[in-house]
Amino acid sequence: MKYFILINQQVLSKTELDIIDGAILDYIYFYCNCRNKKVEQQRIIDKQNRVWTWVDYRSLLKDMPILKIKSIGAITLRINRIEHSGYIKTMRFQNMKKYFRMTAKSDELFIQMNRAIHTDEQGYSSKRTAPIHIDELIKIKEYKDKTIKTDGDFDKFWKAYPKKVSKQQAIKSFKKIKPSELPVILKDIEKRKESRNWKKDDGQFIPYPSTYLNNRRWEDEEEIRKPNLKDEIYYGGK
């Protein structure tokens, strides 16, 4: 059972989504950022090293009775609308389960006054089944074996990242990054420091460092804006 719905209502009210969509999005956001070992077993990593999390619709309906939604079809329509709004990406792999990935746009719904509404320490319902391993995907164990281990590399990231909060969570997330990705990450951070989105409102919309790493934000090149551009963002991509 999920007991709380934590979302920026002011931002939500300016979108095409309603409060039910917001509650569903909150549930998905929680799962995609949860560090629980059993949730980790429900993740797969594609060939672009993007992390996808499986969310069981039946568990969602059971854990969220406030939705008052009874059918999988009805929840599917809601999910499609949320994805169309640009807050999530979905993908079906060979096991035909639907996996989710949050976009950078979702940060505006879950960040308030320079602090993340959600944290990695929240609990979760433990009764889940592990996903099927897919041949063309990178296995999680193989991926973790190629991580950065040195404190010096993390220090470079920590020094460069403008929002220095939840350091221990950032360290855990950083350990999943390949050594070859560090230069790309540092370059991306420097670009984002000059972007309008990170500069506005005293950095309110800068994600937590662990969120930036977990969701591989350095791959979202299309979302970096220069200071002299208009304040609209197109969230595209696959």
The pLDDT of residue 78 is: 92
User: 120 pLDDT exceeds 70?
Assistant: no
Higher pLDDT, 53 or 1: 53
Alpha helices (H) in the chain, listed in sequence order:
9-12, 19-33, 37-40, 57-63, 72-84, 107-110, 140-144, 151-160, 167-174, 182-193, 196-199, 209-214
Higher pLDDT, 35 or 227: 35
Between the alpha carbon of residue 160 and those of residues 153, 154, 156, 183, the distances in Å are 11, 10, 6, 11
The pair of structure tokens assigned to 230 is 């208009």
The whole-number average pLDDT for the span 49-67 is 87
The pLDDT of residue 230 is: 42
The whole-number average pLDDT for the span 177-182 is 86
* Number of Cβ within a 10 Å radius of residue 204: 16
The pLDDT of residue 165 is: 86
The pLDDT of residue 94 is: 67
The pLDDT of residue 88 is: 92
The pair of structure tokens assigned to 213 is 């790493």
Higher pLDDT, 83 or 199: 83
Assign domain 1-130 to its CATH architecture. Orthogonal Bundle (1.10)
User: Percent of the chain beyond pLDDT 70?
Assistant: 72
Please tell me the pTM assigned to this model.
Answer: 0.49
Min mean pLDDT across 47-56, 199-208, 209-218, 222-231 is at 222-231
User: Percent of the chain beyond pLDDT 90?
Assistant: 14
User: 36 pLDDT exceeds 70?
Assistant: yes
User: 35 pLDDT exceeds 60?
Assistant: yes
Taking the domains of the chain in order of start, what are their residue ranges? Answer: 1-130, 146-238
User: 132 pLDDT exceeds 60?
Assistant: no
Min mean pLDDT across 34-38, 55-59, 70-74, 116-120 is at 116-120
The pLDDT of residue 84 is: 92
The whole-number average pLDDT for the span 190-199 is 84
Sign, CA dihedral 8-10-13-15, equals negative
At residue 21, φ and ψ (nearest 5 deg) are -60, -40
User: 179 pLDDT exceeds 70?
Assistant: yes
- The closest of 83, 84, 69, 54 to 20, measured between CA atoms, is 69
Task: Please give the Cα distance from 102 to 31 (Å, whole number).
Answer: 10
The pLDDT of residue 213 is: 92
